[in-house]
Structure 1
Amino acid sequence: MAGMRVLVTGASGFVGAHATVAMAALGHEPHLLVRNPEKVVRVLAALAPPQEWPIHQADIRDAPAVRRALERCDAVLHAAADMGVTGHATDLRGTNVTGLANVLGQAAELGLDPIVHVSTVAVFVPPTGPMITVDSPLASPRNGYGRSKVEGDRYARDLRGVTIVYPGGVAGPHQPTLDGLNEGLRAGLRSGWPIVPGGVSVLDVRDLAVALARCFVPGQGARRYVLGGNFLTWAEIAFLARRLTGRKGRTLRMPGTLLRALAAALDGVKGLGLRVAYPLTRDAADFMLTLVPTHDTTALKELGVTLRPADDTVSDTLRWLVAEGHLKPREIGRLAP
């Protein structure tokens, strides 16, 4: 199959950058739609030798600029999103709803194929059953991030021919801005692991990138794939960190009500403009306490992906956190160089 010209939104982000490199490895030509060309060059240089990939400088909220970029491509990977779970994002709907519609809606009008949207398992949280599948009902999240992602997901489902991928907690090396699960791993090592109900799905960003790259086969129509990754309870991830590092670490066993109360208190402190390093928010607590395993079998089979063990993902992530100065070598014990 001949390579495709694929417009990548969010190419300077964690998932978008890794997916760009994975698509190029399969013979596709990435076109990068970004707000900051210097940043995307710097981010991609950490993952692959410098390439002369076309760069389109635009904000996805600018519909005419997005359309001009789409007109030069055969397909699109929409990986741009604003996060607002462990930190603060100012315009979640602007990116996660309006920007999404500009990209996916205009791509459908222009007949691009395939159109691939990176969503999140958060649209199913809180879940209604013991496992999240592609047929699970969309949730009614309390937090603004979840609501914006559900609204965007409904729009994507109403379009013809859109492939939607629902990743879990994405971890791994080379994250341009520390966030999400990588930030949580650092906090667990430094401040302790809360042992509460629920758990976390650990998905290696490199495995997700390969899965996304393999979606780019035209003529497949609309598809939906859940790819949560390796599900671990909070006790299991604390034990995993202890086993990998050789350090006992701290565990903080507590009921879910206490975790939510602590998270709400931290939100209040942050609302006063005070800096708090620990990435716990009420929104994050909701995910931590209610997430369940995901049914990944269809995605893994149809896309030909084998997930790395969580040991490898966490080990590589912790070593990278040290290399970037986010952790001290002593904090990762025997994993340190």
Structure 2
Amino acid sequence: MENKPTTTNGQRVLVTGGSGFVAAHCIIQLLDAGYDVRTTVRSLKRKDNVLAMLKAGGAKNTDTVTFVEADLMRDTGWAEAVSGCDFVLHVASPFPPGTPKHEDDLIVPAREGALRVLRAARDAGVKRVVLTSSFAAIGYGVKTRNQPFSEENWTDAKSDVSAYVKSKTLAERAAWNFIAHEGGALELSVVNPVGVFGPVLGPDLSTSIHLVKMLMDGAMPGTPKLSFGIVDVRDVADLHLRAMTHPEARSQRFLAIADNFMQVQEIAQVLRKRLGDSARRVPTKVLPNWLVRISSLFNPMLRSVTPELGKTKNATNEKAKRVLGWNPRSSEDALTATAESLMRLGLLKH
């Protein structure tokens, strides 16, 4: 591990999985706020990628960021990673675009990784860990409901839900259980984002960003009858920082959503309205559910979402606004920023 000059704040934060979309934006905002930042990567070969992402996002003082090699599936590196840290943002988690061969390929790293980080943080005297969970741990496996989902709700992991949904639910449950029984003085806060959009910083695209890319590229003949929540990655990072330091965030979970859930068709309309000719390939027609189900037999990405076809859901950000003073951008702004960044980086079809 390199010795680097410390920043003005004097407090050090570990961000796990620095090469990830949310993690990179968290690092940028932490540096901006004057924190000393350390981040983990599975391989130190990723270091230059991370630094390039931070620079693309306008980060200041990237030379103060230190890197530690650590893997969620192994103990090595974690004691070194958390040493001397005041806070930990545990953002790293597997999220593949398709369906894994076995659900444990996702569940075990998510759950064991969270426990590995919490154990190391507790042993190092870290004050608080902020865990990045997901709406996946809140709003699945339950009967259709009219009222919006809130932090009080939990996904039923025993029902027929995808491996990703199950992994996020079981990992967050395990984290709360650890804090209750073995956490000692360690505090925990949890952030539960919906689909995360906003400015892309490099060519590795997260699953939600792929949707905007496919729409912009005209890679879909039409829009499936799916709806989900949207939030800008910059607001997710901001919520992590608030949850990290706010006294009332201790032992609380916070839903990160900009406003109401949107249908994919509405997302397509926003892109066409905001981006004009650049969005000329975005499809206008809606696909019938039966066609999406047939297509999903050949497309693993579609297969994981077919159970949600035609379902309407909503969620509320009331708690994050009331307790932490959080004020997110609109869904439309988040979607527009996504598409503009994909264009800027040359990641769309010409």
**TM-score bin (small chain):** 0.7 to 0.9
Pick from 115, 126, 130: which aligns with 1:112?
126
User: Which runs of structure 2 are paired with 1:169-248 in the superposition (5 Å)?
Assistant: 169-176=195-202, 177-189=204-216, 190-192=218-220, 194-217=222-245, 220=248, 221-230=250-259, 231-246=261-276, 247=280
* Distance (Å, rounded) in 1 between the aligned partners of 2:200 and 2:265: 26
Residue deviations 1:111-157 (CA, integer Å, cap 9, x gap): 42211000111123244433221111223353222222121011012
Tell me: CA distance 1:310–1:119, structure 2 relative to 1, closer, same or farther (3 Å): same
**Secondary structure, in 3 states, of the residue corresponding to 1:208?**
helix
* Distance (Å, rounded) in 1 between the aligned partners of 2:98 and 2:310: 14
Amino acid in structure 2 at the alignment position of 1:153: E
Tell me: CA distance 1:193–1:65, structure 2 relative to 1, closer, same or farther (3 Å): same
Which piece of structure 1 moves more, 228-237 or 158-167?
Answer: 228-237
Amino acid in structure 1 at the alignment position of 2:56: A
* Distance (Å, rounded) in 2 between the aligned partners of 1:285 and 1:3: 48
Q: Which runs of 5+ in 2 are unaligned?
A: 1-7, 180-186
Residue deviations 1:178-231 (CA, integer Å, cap 9, x gap): 122211011123134744444121111111111111122175431110112232
Amino acid in structure 1 at the alignment position of 2:299: L
In the other structure, the counterpart of 1:41 is 51
In the other structure, the counterpart of 1:15 is 22
Q: TM-score, normalised by structure 2?
A: 0.82
CA contact (8 A) 2:293 2:303 kept: yes
**Secondary structure, in 3 states, of the residue corresponding to 1:325?**
coil
Pick from 187, 193, 201: which aligns with 1:167?
193
Does residue 308 in structure 1 map to residue 334 in structure 2? no
CA contact (8 A) 1:198 1:292 kept: no
Residue deviations 1:67-86 (CA, integer Å, cap 9, x gap): 22212211100000111344
Tell me: CA distance 1:118–1:193, structure 2 relative to 1, closer, same or farther (3 Å): farther
Tell me: CA distance 1:79–1:288, structure 2 relative to 1, closer, same or farther (3 Å): farther
CA contact (8 A) 2:197 2:233 kept: yes
Residue deviations 1:225-277 (CA, integer Å, cap 9, x gap): 0112232122321221221133484234234343233212323xxxxxxxxxx
**C-alpha deviation, 1:52, in angstroms:** 1.7
Pick from 152, 156, 160: which aligns with 1:139?
156
Q: Which runs of 5+ in 1 are unaligned?
A: 268-279, 330-337
CA contact (8 A) 1:6 1:28 kept: yes
**C-alpha deviation, 1:98, in angstroms:** 1.7
Does residue 76 in structure 1 map to residue 59 in structure 2? no
* Distance (Å, rounded) in 2 between the aligned partners of 1:8 and 1:288: 35
Pick from 92, 95, 107: which aligns with 2:106?
92
Tell me: CA distance 1:323–1:257, structure 2 relative to 1, closer, same or farther (3 Å): same
| Number of aligned residues | 317
Amino acid in structure 2 at the alignment position of 1:188: L
User: Which runs of structure 2 are paired with 1:279-298 in the superposition (5 Å)?
Assistant: 280-287=301-308, 289-290=310-311, 292-298=313-319
Percent identity, aligned pairs only? 25
Q: TM-score, normalised by structure 1?
A: 0.84
Amino acid in structure 1 at the alignment position of 2:196: V
**Secondary structure, in 3 states, of the residue corresponding to 1:251?**
coil
CA contact (8 A) 1:86 1:180 kept: no
